Amino acid sequence: MSHLTRGLAGLLLAHALPAATWLPPVRRLTPRLAGRGEARHVALTLDDGPDALSTPLFLDELARLGCHATFFVLGMMLQRNPSLGRRIVGDGHEIAVHGWHHGNPLVTRPGRVSAEMRRTVRLIEDVCGVSPSWYRPPYGVLSAEALFAARRDGLRPVLWTAWGKDWTASATPGSVLVALSRGLGGGATLLLHDSDSTSAPHAWRAALGALPGVVATCRADGLTVGPLRDHGVHSARTSPGHP
């Protein structure tokens, strides 16, 4: 193997190595990245919106339940639905970055992840009047470029400790609750979707239908459900030493 080939292989390995955190055993070894937080709190996070069809229903249901969440938005969806971005913030929820498109960072041409992350941050600031604190990569797949760009933009990467598997056509409120139940406890970060923009059509209905059960289960155990900002996991913007 030539020096050039070894060098390229090393660069590819460095680029892809952070993606290993997608694997549950690796996430368990990186609790802060997974979103493991305060023992009496559960972080509720929603990906892939805002969607004009579904997101308002999630906002209405969260208001009825009396709890807040962190919405990881796609830039292209926020660009289509700016009023929903403003409503998310206006209703007291937290807005965060999921990227511009839902592309896998590992197979995206160099520079695109960085540029689109910056573009999404700027759009959130312009539309919603707030600076986001969190970044979750599409598919939960991190790359070296994504980590560098997140740090540049003052974002802390965070994945999840439990997901509802609510993106399939066969998902139901009951199946979502069962999938979450394995990790539904104090300190958990839950992943659901408020849009079917990258899922099976109308798959969001399963997550919406599961919300009352998720919140009721947590509250029955004496746990508070809320956004990441209340989870005891400091963002890059609030960490000591961050400008």
Between 3-16 and 144-152, two packed helices, what is the crossing angle to 10 degrees?
60
Burial of 240: CB neighbours in 10 Å, binned 0-12, 13-18, 19+ = exposed
The residue annotated as part of the active site, out of 41, 93, 193, 231, is 193
Q: Which long-range contacts (CB under 8 A, 24 or more apart) does 17-22 make?
A: 17/144, 18/142, 18/143, 18/144, 18/146, 18/147, 19/105, 19/106, 19/141, 19/142, 19/143, 21/140, 21/142, 21/159, 22/139, 22/140, 22/141, 22/142, 22/159
Strands 156-157 and 224-226: unpaired
Catalytic residue check, 47: yes
Of the residues 47, 51, 166, 194, which is catalytic? 47
Rounded to whole angstroms, how far apart are CA atoms 138 and 116?
Answer: 12
Calpha distance 89→123 (Å, rounded) = 14
Question: 230 an active-site residue?
Answer: no
- Measure the CA–CA gap between 64 and 104, rounded to whole angstroms: 35
Active site residues: 47, 193
